[in-house]
Amino acid sequence: MSVTDTRYTRTAVILHWLIGLGLIAMLFFGWWMAELPKEAPKAVSYDLFNWGLYTVQLSEAVSPRTFYFNLHKSIGFTLLFLVAFRVLWRILHHPPALLPTLKPWERKLATATHHLLYLLMVLLPASGLLQTLYSKWGLSWFGIKVLPGLDNANIREIFHELHEWFGIILAAIIVIHVAGALKHRFIDKDATMSRMTLQ
């Protein structure tokens, strides 16, 4: 088996890291913004996360909670499209074979983890989108109105709960995925991690 037979394509590698890091950032972002107060002074400009790196100018004054929730929704909507493209790419491009050195239980765990990751990569942003659509505000993508809100609080709450649970489960699966990658890199010292690099 050649090295190229066990490596992912450049597109798959870029999508893996872009979506993976994006989802991890969004998990932290989601838990952080949930603690923002509902009542706070409105502003027309925001220094993103008070890091001093970039200031966003708005057309109208909004509260910090509104600003960051809208930003979370916009990034999540973008990630949903990236995930859809990644799923399509996976369907059209057969993934490389697992390394022959893997034990049977490692193969089963790797397969199960990857399937769960793909499922949750779809369910998490999709449930967030549906939660947004059933709110009274609807979906705006970086200030551009995309879809109106259906204003159904009961259905919105269902998708809100699902979105939170999918986030918790995804976080746990990511921990398992990362732990497995680190095991292969530092304990097994095999080529598993190099399969997903741009070399």
What values do phi and psi take at 147, rounded to 5? -140, 140
Give pLDDT, residue 33.
96
Residue 139: which domain range?
4-196
CA 129 – CA 104 distance, rounded (Å): 38
- pLDDT over 90, % of the chain: 81
Q: How much is the pTM?
A: 0.91
pLDDT of 3 strictly over 50: no
Give pLDDT, residue 1.
39
Mean pLDDT over 10-19 rounds to 94
Give pLDDT, residue 5.
62
Mean pLDDT score across all residues of the chain? 93
Per-residue DSSP letter, 147: E
Residue 145 identity (one-letter amino acid)? K
Does residue 135 sit in helix, strand or coil?
coil
The DSSP element (H or E) to which 71 belongs, if any, is helix 64-92
Please answer whether residues 26 and 72 qualify as being in contact, where contact means their C-beta atoms are separated by less than 8 angstroms.
yes
Give pLDDT, residue 196.
85
- The DSSP bridge partners found for residue 56 are 46
The DSSP element (H or E) to which 55 belongs, if any, is strand 55-62
Q: Of 5-19, 38-52, 163-177, where does mean pLDDT reach its minimum?
A: 5-19
pLDDT of 193 strictly over 80: yes
Give pLDDT, residue 192.
83
Give pLDDT, residue 191.
84
User: Which residue matches tokens 């008070």?
Assistant: 50
Q: Each residue of 153-191: b (16+ CB within 10 Å) or e? A: eeebeebbebbbebbeebeebbeebeebeeebeeeeeee
Q: Which two tokens stand for residue 197?
A: 């690099």
Q: Please report, for the domain that includes residue 114, its CATH number.
A: 1.20.950.20
CA 97 – CA 170 distance, rounded (Å): 24
Could you tell me which residue, 128 or 96, shows the higher pLDDT?
128
* Count of domains observed in the chain: 1
Query: pLDDT grade, residue 199 (50/70/90)?
Result: low
Integer CA distances (angstroms), 26 to 38, 102, 185, in order: 20, 32, 26
Other Cβ atoms closer than 10 A to 92: 7
pLDDT tens digits along 49-108: 999 999 999 999 999 999 999 999 999 999 999 999 999 999 999 888 888 888 899 899
Per-residue DSSP letter, 52: S
